[in-house]
Amino acid sequence: MVAAGSAVADDVLLKRPAADLLGARPLPPGLHPPSSLGDPRMPEVEPQEVERPGRSEQEIVFSLANLGVTYGKSLALTGVTMDIYKHQITAIIGPSGCGKSTLIRCLNRMNDLIPGAAVTGSAFYHGEDLYGPRVDPVVVRRHIGMVFQRPNPFPKSIYDNVAFGPRINGFKGDLDELVERCLRQAALWDEVKNSLRKSALALSGGQQQRLCIARAIAVEPDVILMDEPASALDPISTTKIEDLMQELKEHYSIVIVTHNMQQAARMSDKTAFLYTEVDQGTSERWGILVEYDATGVMFTKPCDKRTEDYISGRFG
Amino acid sequence: MNGIDAAIPVAGESTLNRWTDERVASGRRWRNRLMAGFMGAALAVSVSVVGLILLYVVKAGLGAMSWEFLTQPPPYSYRLEGGGFVNGLIGTAIMLVFATVVSAPMGVMAAVYLAEYGGKGTLAKLIRFFSDVMTGVPSVFVGLFVYTALVTSFGFGASMGAIALTIIMLPIIIRSSEEMLRLVPRDLKDASHALGASKSQTIVRVVLPSAAPGISTGVMLAVARAAGETAPLILTILGAQAIVTKLWDEAIAALPLQIFDGARNPFAAGVERAWAGALELVVIVLAFTLLARLLASRSRI
Amino acid sequence: MLAGLLVLLFLAGMVFSTTRTALPIFREAGLSFFTSTDWQPTAGHYGALAFIYGTVVTSAIALVVGVPLSLGVALFLTEISPRRIRGPLTYLVDLLAMVPSVVYGLWGILFLLPHFLQPVAVFLNRYLGFIPFFRGPVSGLSYFGAGIVLAVMIIPIVSSLSREVFSAVPVEDRHAAYALGATRWEMIRGAVLSRGRAGVVGAVMLGMGRAFGETIAVALLIGSRPEVSVSFLQPGYSMAAVIANTFQEANGSGIAALVAIGVVLFVITIIVNMVARALVWRFVR
């Protein structure tokens, strides 16, 4: 059904102003200086001390080069090269089965948890190889939080849900204050402040999802990944989540997977379009990155025919 | 430290800490490993207990095993050497055959009711719940029940033991058969109904045959369980030294019972026979278990 | 097709016929059945406290030792072991359930007792003897010995049910914990154990029911002394064991008294089982 071969995709990628997209290339993994004069027991608050300077507009958080994922023997995603910038919302769109979730799960090494999954190519986070030999995925996930498609609060109280991350990370300080701050940031405080000890499962779906966001920011991450966070919610809850994301953007870099085009157009600064390629012979299918640009450009004058079809098809 | 960082020429990164240097707090890492170690150790303990039991039973059992053991009844005293448990083997075989012949059809019928007719009704729920509860009734109590209800009127005997074993096997067969019947795909039943078959015809000709291997698996497991039961037999067949084949009103021997008696009495010859008997019993139980697995692997629903 | 009713019929029959036999004993002994340790059925003394105590103590030991082991096994099999060796390992652990209890008893008394139970009992007494539970004199046949063998016997049932419960915990919960930077153990504690708590309690209670009712292995290992002693290292008796051990020599009121013990045992186990089933059912279905 889809005639376009991978040659076309390569072509498209080449046509884009590559230097602009890729930015400064990080060091190849082999060239890291033997660094660990830095005290490994430095307190974990360090990341917050980082300034957030105004020029962050162009600061790169993730730099992916030719990233691919295979599950066992089958290819799920291949050839993704893109940079993700600080304090921006980066949306990943595309039809279902095109590897959006697979891609976002590479960014905090959640794919490690799936037996048989293997990542190829490179993914750099603040200039360091996410898949480097010295990297502990547990540390990665503390810096890079995630919110899932279906709200998945733990079967504990609202308070304990938010406090879970800080507690395991040995948070010393005013836990009550932290919980309140996170719930406020997640725009949930006013609704739950009188029932903090009640089970989180008693909340509505939208509230649960905002609780999951509060839970994610309670470990004070640098990036929040959101895997279709509103797809299981009603329109009102969706709006609330979207408003919330605009506020969170001030403090965090956000990567969001969505199949809702309007949502991507409304909220994101940059948009990446993934698409499914099919091998005519074996009918195996895998995802590729077709186009990646500023959201305004993507939705008004996309370079690729497939992007245009997809976007206009959905807009009707 | 800043100096070191600054020396790394990564564009646009100079203000950032090197997150790769961050480590999970050693206490957390340590606890993680400790707990994983504990889980591994728990498994190792369990598996080695299995190994130790089988090893020891085989070792001690083979030492005491002989042709005589397999073919002769025991001598009249635990002190005396020689002889065997053939009367117990016969008793166990008789009771298992009878218990299976009674409990298997009854259990399957009950399972058919639960899976095909009862559905989510209150009665079905009640039966299901109490079958589960009944698997937890202490087997010694089943023996007491048969004793008070029947043995007091009819006397000890193989039939009484068989009834006790039936009661123990029944709930196991009901529950496992029901699971199997539920696995029969809807399409198959629909196809049969579409050909004009009645519900009972469908069950007899389509559902039961396709669930048969799975049901036999459950039956075999129940037999394996019943073969090793000892406590209820004390109260229903009492035990005997000679070969008995009468079904009614005469105490009879059973393999597990003889092992129990051998283990209870501190005479070397009796203990020897108990080990050989244990080997015999374990081989029987494992044979049924393996048979069950074999049937299960054949079953393709 | 209403063969299923038979189960209910059997249960009702059990309750009726045993209670009928036991009733005169309860009537005669009254409350002393539960408070006295004087057990001489031929003389009309029916104090069953020592047996009840023994059942409770051995089961408690079995749970304290067996439950952590079972949960460790279940967690290892669901959370840690590579998929390839999971099947064979599970099969090996389940083999524990297939070993007849009389074989456990024989093995316990002739192998475990000299090679493990006796040395451990001596060790406990030497270093922890100041605690009343481990006071001497040390006997190999004891609450402790019976409890340890029971612990092994409940491993297959508790671990297989908890395994079911743990595998029913949704993968989203696990990922949520991992995404917050949890280590595997923190994930297990936060997501798996807290979600599965009710189911695990049910599994443990089923193990407890099994331990209460276990007869033959306990009869061989507990030492058969109808007294109450605080020390776990001394011989005692249990409800099921006394029925199995003395039935063949009993007659008349002696048998009725044993039936009475059986009724008490039945009532306890049935309650434990019903609560446990309800808990496990609610979780797995």
Q: What would the DSSP string read from start to end of B132-178?
A: HHHHTS-HHHHHHHHIIIIIHHH-SSHHHHHHHHHHHHHHHHHHHHH
Q: State residue B147's pLDDT score.
A: 92
CATH number of the domain bearing residue A100: 3.40.50.300
Sequence-separated contacts (24+) of B99-106 with Cβ below 8 Å: B99/B162, B99/B163, B99/B165, B99/B166, B99/B169, B99/B226, B100/B169, B100/B219, B100/B222, B100/B223, B102/B162, B102/B166, B103/B165, B103/B166, B103/B169, B103/B170, B103/B173, B103/B222, B104/B169, B104/B173, B104/B219, B106/B170, B106/C3, B106/C6
Please write the tens of the pLDDT for every residue from B106-164. 999 999 988 888 777 888 888 888 888 888 899 999 999 999 999 888 889 899 999 99
**Considering the domain boundaries, does residue B15 fall inside one?**
no
**B204 inside 8 A of chain C by CB:** no
Residues of C within 8 A of B149 (CB-CB) are 13, 17
d(CA C101, CA B140): 12
Type of residue found at C68 = P
- Chain C CB contacts of A168 under 8 Å are 180-183, 186, 190
For chain C, first and last CA: distance in Å? 26
pLDDT digits (tens, 9 = 90+) for C162-182: 998 898 888 888 999 999 989
Query: Could you tell me the two tokens for B81?
Result: 């050497």
- pLDDT bin (cut points 50, 70, 90) of residue C49 is very high
Are the beta carbons of C101 and B230 separated by less than 8 Å?
yes
State how far the Cα of A93 lies from the Cα of A259, in Å rounded to an integer. 6
Domains of chain B: total: 2
What are the pLDDT digits (tens) for B172-213?
Answer: 999 899 988 988 888 888 888 888 888 888 888 888 888 888
Distance from CA of C177 to the nearest CA of A (A): 8
User: How many CA atoms does the CB half-sphere of A284 hold within 13 Å?
Assistant: 9
Note whether B40 and B80 are same-domain residues.
no
Whether the pLDDT of residue C1 is over 60: the answer is no
B200 and B113 in a common domain: yes
Burial class (CB in 10 A: 0-12, 13-18, 19+), C200: buried
Give the sheet arrangement for strand A144-147, strand by strand.
Answer: A128-129, A117-125, A60-71, A74-85, A285-294, A270-278, A89-93, A253-257, A223-227, A144-147
- Residues 6+ positions from C65 with CB-CB distance below 8 Å: C147, C148, C151
Q: Residue A240: what pLDDT? A: 87
The one-letter amino acid at A270: K
Per DSSP bridges, beta strands A223-227 and A144-147 are: parallel
Planar angle of CA A100, A102, A108, nearest 5 degrees: 110
Residue C144 vs residues B243, C25, C147, C232, C234: alpha-carbon distances, Å = 38, 31, 5, 5, 8
My answer on whether B119 and B215 are in the same domain is: yes
Residue A264 falls within a domain, yes or no? yes
In the stretch 190-229 of chain C, residues with CB closer than 8 A to chain A read: 190-191, 194-195
How many Cα atoms are found within 13 Å in the side-chain-facing hemisphere of B130?
17
> Structurally, how many domains does chain A consist of?
1
CATH number, span C14-284 = 1.10.3720.10
Does residue A44 form part of some domain? Answer: no
CATH number of domain containing B159: 1.10.3720.10
Structure tokens, B208: 């039961």
**Alpha carbons B259 and B241: distance in angstroms, whole number:** 13
pLDDT for the residue numbered B99: 95
Whether chain B has a CB inside 8 Å of the CB on A37: the answer is: yes
Task: Indicate if B60 and B83 belong to the same structural domain.
Answer: no
Domain limits for position A294:
6-23+57-315
Q: How many residues does chain A have?
A: 316
C109 membership: H or E segment, kind and range: none
Q: Is residue B131 part of a domain?
A: yes
Residue A60 to residue B11: CA distance in whole angstroms: 9
How confident is the model over A247-255, as a mean pLDDT? 91
Domain assignment of residue B46, given as a range: 20-64
Does residue B5 sit within a domain?
no
pLDDT for B9 beyond 50:
no
Q: How far apart are CA A154 and CA C186, in angstroms?
A: 13
**C82 to chain A: nearest residue by CA?**
A115
C185 near A CB under 8 A: no
On the question of pLDDT at C240 being above 90, the answer is: yes
Query: Tell me, what amino acid is at B96?
Result: L
Report the distance separating Cα A165 and Cα C180, nearest Å.
6
Distance to chain A for B186, nearest Cα, Å: 30
> Is A239 domain-assigned?
yes
Predicted confidence at residue B172, as pLDDT, reads 92
Q: Same domain, yes or no, for B36 and B169?
A: no
Are A154 and C179 a contacting pair at CB < 8 A? no
Joined tokens for residue B136: 């937890």
What average pLDDT does the structure give for chain C? Answer: 90
pLDDT of residue A23: 39
Mean per-residue pLDDT for C95-116? 92
The answer to whether A39 contacts chain B (CB < 8 Å) is yes
Q: Based on the domain organization, do B34 and B173 belong to the same domain?
A: no
Examine the domain organization and report whether B86 and B50 are in the same domain. Answer: no
Same domain, residue pair B220 and B242: yes
List the subunits that have 3+ CB pairs under 8 angstroms with A.
Answer: B, C
Give ipTM to 2 decimals. Answer: 0.89
In chain B, the residue whose alpha carbon lies closest to the alpha carbon of A46 is B17
A192-217 mean pLDDT: 91
Residue B46: its pLDDT value, please? 94
Helix B208-227, helix B86-112: angle, nearest 10? 140
- Nearest-by-CA chain A residue for B22: A40
